[in-house]
Amino acid sequence: MKIQAAIFDWAGTTVDFGCRAPVEAIREAFASFGVPLSSGEARAHMGLPKIEHIRATCADAAVAARWAAKHGARPTEAEVAQIYASFLPRQFAAIEKYSRVIPGVAPLVAHLRARGVRIGSTTGYTREMLDVVMKRAACEGYAPEASVTPEEAGMGRPAPLMCYLNAVRLRVYPLRACVKIGDTVSDIEEGRNAGMWTIGIAVTGNEVGLSEEEWHVLEEGERARRAEAARRRLFDAGADFVADSVGECEAVLDEIEQRLALGS
Ligand SMILES: [Mg+2]
């Protein structure tokens, strides 16, 4: 049996090195309510549908405590909706700034297509957001055959429904011959829940959280330390494999194909 499909995440995996667009938008939205977030707080729930990302951030103890100090009580569901409303235009503005295709993605995808692997995608973005991202990515040579957003599948990550809908649209089976590739814990949970192989993306994604320029100027020991911490977190989430970037996935995909051939 051969790999039937590769289902890629978007921000931090195929576009937006460092997964910076959602972080900037969420931090600005919370700051507009007088509750600044650290980068780590803004990244803790990355990969979920954006409204759920905001809701989960509001439920974090330190954030809820700072919100209560400012507003008199923990954030309510009505306030979650207000933060989301503030977040939306900021997210569209950030997408305009941070949606470049990550180096190595287009060649790896071309290689997969040549091998007969179908290309799908899932996201925490809404369809309106993803349409903007996809248009820009296509101009830079990356255009998956299928894309599914949380509202289209009825549930976002960590549920597997976006992966299932990709399989339906690509007409591929079985799911155990498909691979989910993404940069967050929730990406790995989504792929595992779908019964797919999972590859975590460590360096270009949310777990390192640096721009390409910031990454390259880091001292070598610090780069190694941060990459290892990101790999550890993705393996701890249950990833079958971890690669530093999508462009470095070829050897892993070969190994998955060998293991499928052996029936493991
Ligand atoms: Mg991502």
CA 165–ligand 1 middle distance (angstroms) = 19
- Using DSSP's 3-state secondary structure scheme, residue 122 falls into strand
| Strand pairing category for 178-182 and 241-243 | unpaired
CA 243–ligand 1 middle distance (angstroms) = 14
The pLDDT-based confidence of 1 (bands split at 50, 70, 90) is confident
Rounded distance between C-alpha atoms, residue 22 and residue 45, angstroms: 11
Q: What is the pLDDT of residues 53-112, one digit of tens each?
A: 999 999 999 999 999 999 999 999 999 999 999 999 999 999 999 999 999 999 999 999
Domain 5-19+99-261 shares a fold with domain 21-97 = no
Rounded distance between C-alpha atoms, residue 67 and residue 136, angstroms: 36
Q: Catalogue the active-site residues.
A: 9, 50
> Are the C-beta atoms of 64 and 74 separated by less than 8 Å?
yes
Q: Calculate ∠ Cα 99-108-123, nearest 5°.
A: 40
Tokens 């797919």 correspond to: 196
Q: Residue 9 pLDDT > 90, yes or no?
A: yes
Superfamily of domain 21-97: Putative phosphatase; domain 2 (1.10.150.240)
Q: What is the pLDDT of residues 150-209, one digit of tens each?
A: 999 999 999 999 999 999 999 999 999 999 999 999 999 999 999 999 999 999 999 999
> Are the C-beta atoms of 50 and 23 separated by less than 8 Å?
no
Which fold would CATH assign to domain 5-19+99-261? Rossmann fold (3.40.50)
Q: Residue 264 pLDDT > 80, yes or no?
A: no
Name the residue among 245, 255, 237, 240 with its Cα closest to residue 212.
245
CA 246–ligand 1 middle distance (angstroms) = 12
CA 71–ligand 1 middle distance (angstroms) = 31
Sheet holding 5-8, edge to edge: 118-121, 5-8, 178-182, 197-201, 241-243
Percent pLDDT > 90 in the chain is 98
CA 150–ligand 1 middle distance (angstroms) = 14
Segment (H or E) for 232: helix 220-236
3-class secondary structure per residue, 146-188:
CCECHHHHCCCCCCCHHHHHHHHHHCCCCHHHEEEEECCHHHH
**Beta strands of the chain (E only): which ranges?**
5-8, 118-121, 178-182, 197-201, 241-243
Rounded distance between C-alpha atoms, residue 170 and residue 206, angstroms: 28
Q: Where are the domains of the chain?
A: 5-19+99-261, 21-97
